[in-house]
Amino acid sequence: MSGVEDTLREIRERAEKALEKKAPLGPDVDLTRFYECSPQERLGSLEEIAAQLREAALYAGVEFEAPGAGTYLQVDRSAVYERVIKPFEGKLEIMTVRRALELYPELVTQYWWKLVPVDADKYAAFTELCFTEGYFIRVFAHQKVEIPLQACLLVSERSRVQSVHNLVILEEGAEANIVTGCASVRGVDEGVHIGVSEFYLDRNARLTFTMVHNWGERFHVRPRTAVHMEEGSFYSSTYVLLKPIASLQTFPQALLNGRDANAQFQSIIFAKGDSVIDIGSTVVLREQGCRGNSISRVCAIENAAVYTRGRLIAYHNDTQAHLECKGILFSPQAKIISIPELEVHGAPQARLSHEAAVGPLEEETINYLRARGLSKEEALSLLTRGFLNVDIPGIPLALKRYIEEIVAMTSRDVL
């Protein structure tokens, strides 16, 4: 036990030294302006969830009327509900990360803060020093969880900081689909959300991960994510942001440390208002046969500023990866800046590529659709919806309709 205690003590000391360390990317946020989230009471069943929480969760991709194989719900600083449905008991476990560390102390020395450095910046450090829970999900070896797992992180109080640390482990041959929704309830327009997430995919494990954010307009959001991948593993990540926020900065990385590992990142961003969004991903290809893709689709309107970054790093000849950023500008004040980086270290036959395109919707295409009987608004809506490609597996029908409503509203804004 002394090894665990020593590790925790070292982690805390590193965090204390980094509490004032600014992140290299994104606007700096004064965390002292915000209060820590309050504790909330536990729920006995999903039926007890308040209507305003249900609404916030639904528009972040989590539907409690159709529960997943496992469900985790956190409100402010407290996990208020977590459960695995009967058909999947013994195949996986889902609980608070604090409870997991108590049950399995070895997690501390094997996984805790091993992928995301606790002293990376002030946001990571704050999450360790002002820990407000987070989820632990483990899928056992060779178990295939066909029904999506649901994790929902909600903020119900104004001007609060929610700082969570999530840990996900897929053992050898395991397969799962996780849908995570993060949101503030209606009327809560200001706050900070920091989410540290560490994923470990063992040999031949497969994980499809979708994260939908739906925050108030004055929220600052700072996800900190890293993925460790062993031989033959597959990781697919889709991030969706469709509402205006104060700022978002995230730069997740996938470390492909085993042969034939494959990582896919997709970002769907609809930037409005005065949002400042800095988003990207890093794919590190270390072994033979590793593959990766990083694709972003961005729409920017009004005064929004979006920075899309992509970094591919190859260390083996038999590796291949591609970056792709496409953006549509709907107003002269908005901006989209694409920043690709390709690095090859001692692997002259590695194949890395990138493609970027930013501009307006083509007037010729709009006119073609209008000639086929569509109004200009309908044409813009159809083209924008097709561009964003929001057919995401595992999200509820109500959210898909909500996305279509947002796209339709945009087409009216730009007329």
Which whole number is the average pLDDT over 18-47? Answer: 90
Q: Provide the number of structural domains found in the chain.
A: 2
Higher-confidence residue: 65 or 380? 65
pLDDT at 312 over 90: yes
Instruction: Judge if 316 and 382 occupy the same domain.
Output: no
pLDDT at 373: 76
What confidence tier does 76 reach under pLDDT thresholds 50, 70, 90?
Answer: very high
With a cut of 80, say whether residue 139 has pLDDT above it. Answer: yes
- SS3 per residue for 332-354: CCCEEEEEEEEEECCCCCCEEEE
In the predicted structure, residue 361 carries a pLDDT above the cut 60: yes
Domain boundary at 338, 364, 390, which?
364
Task: Look at residue 404 in the predicted model and tell me its pLDDT.
Answer: 67
Most confident of 81-85, 346-350, 401-405: 346-350
CB distance 108 to 139 below 8 Å: no
Least trusted range by pLDDT, from 138-147, 175-184, 357-366: 357-366
Q: What is the pLDDT of residues 227-269, one digit of tens each?
A: 999 999 999 998 989 889 999 999 999 999 999 999 999 998 9
What pLDDT is recorded for position 322?
Answer: 95
Task: Clarify whether residues 191 and 102 are in a common domain.
Answer: yes
Indicate if 401 and 269 belong to the same structural domain: no
Mean pLDDT of 43-67: 82
Are residues 385 and 330 located together in one domain of the fold? Answer: no
pLDDT (0 to 100) of residue 317: 97
Q: Which of 341, 364, 387 is the last residue of a domain?
A: 364
Do both 117 and 184 map to the same domain?
yes
* pLDDT (mean) for 120-135: 96
Quick one: what percent of the chain has pLDDT higher than 70?
A: 89
What range defines the domain where residue 265 resides? 2-364
pLDDT band for position 58 (cuts 50, 70, 90): confident
* In the predicted structure, residue 396 carries a pLDDT above the cut 70: no
- In this structure, the answer to whether residues 92 and 60 fall within a common structural domain is yes
